[in-house]
Amino acid sequence: MNIILSSISQGLLWSIMAIGVYLTFRILDVADLTTEGSFPLGAAICGSLLVNGISPWIATLLAFIGGAAAGLVSGYLHVKWRIPALLAGIITMTGLYSINLRIMGQANLYILGEGTLIQSVQDLGVSKTVAVLIVGTLAVTLVIGLLHLFFHTEIGLAIRSTGDNHAMSEANGIRTGSMKVIGYMLGNGLIALSGALLTQNNGFADISMGIGTIVIGLASIIIAEVFFHRLTLAKRLLTVVLGSIVYRLLLLLVLEMNVDPQDLKLFSAILLAIALGLPAIQSRLPKLTSTKTKGGSLS
């Protein structure tokens, strides 16, 4: 039972990253690979600040700001320099590898024994798993609540309009380029925030911890969309959180099957492929059923 609770708590922390991916992938309708650089950037900033005695609240906030700065770079390259979104993300991600090394000063940075948000909750007399559940729940609630409010403001609605119909938004006087940049910044800020929280949970930051994060984010989104359709934004974000938790539980199931941990990324990719293929399978099932029915009636 404790293992399941641990996976759920991990899913809550990872879901903030998935929400960040959702903002760029679904709302802005761009494929942004900055994720794999901004995630470890948040971890690097948070870990380095904690080691130097900075408050975990300030370290976590600065990690979000650092991720937003990474999103600003990708957004600027895409909007102002007309570089395709995929390539802009790759360029920023590549540059962030060196920046993250500079921030940490080494490939791995351990923060065991340092004050963290999770440790501060543990000091209230609860176990680490419960502390992570509390921190994750509060963080997810805060993020979804603020996003719900933001996307009902004039700027938020303009960002959604830009992603839905770029040409029409531009024709109506919306500065679509600026809206895209803001969306990039918000999405990558949340991704870095997730990296900061997971670093505080795991007790270390690693230069390679961003590898495969885009797969995790997309899998969480697709799993949510397969089972839930036509929802409001706030409810959609909640389903992304649920998708992230389901994804962590699926990985737990894979590990329980005695799969070698080094093959976990492979199984992650397979899970994503299956999740992406489910909508196509679902759309074909009614056709196959109707074909069989007609065949049976003709006979």
C-alpha closest to that of 41 among 114, 92, 116? 92
Quickly state the pLDDT bin for 298 (edges 50, 70, 90). Answer: very low
In a domain? residue 191 = yes
In a domain? residue 135 = yes
Domain that holds residue 156: 2-212+226-237
Q: Say yes or no to pLDDT of 165 above 50.
A: yes
pLDDT digits (tens, 9 = 90+) for 40-58: 999 999 999 999 999 999 9
In a domain? residue 242 = no
In a domain? residue 207 = yes
Q: What pTM was estimated for this model as a whole?
A: 0.92
In a domain? residue 147 = yes
What type of residue sits at position 152? H
Q: CA 48, CA 57: separation in Å to the nearest integer? A: 13
In a domain? residue 40 = yes
In a domain? residue 220 = no
Q: Say yes or no to pLDDT of 91 above 70.
A: yes
Q: CA 64, CA 99: separation in Å to the nearest integer? A: 16
> How many domains is the chain partitioned into structurally?
1
In a domain? residue 170 = yes
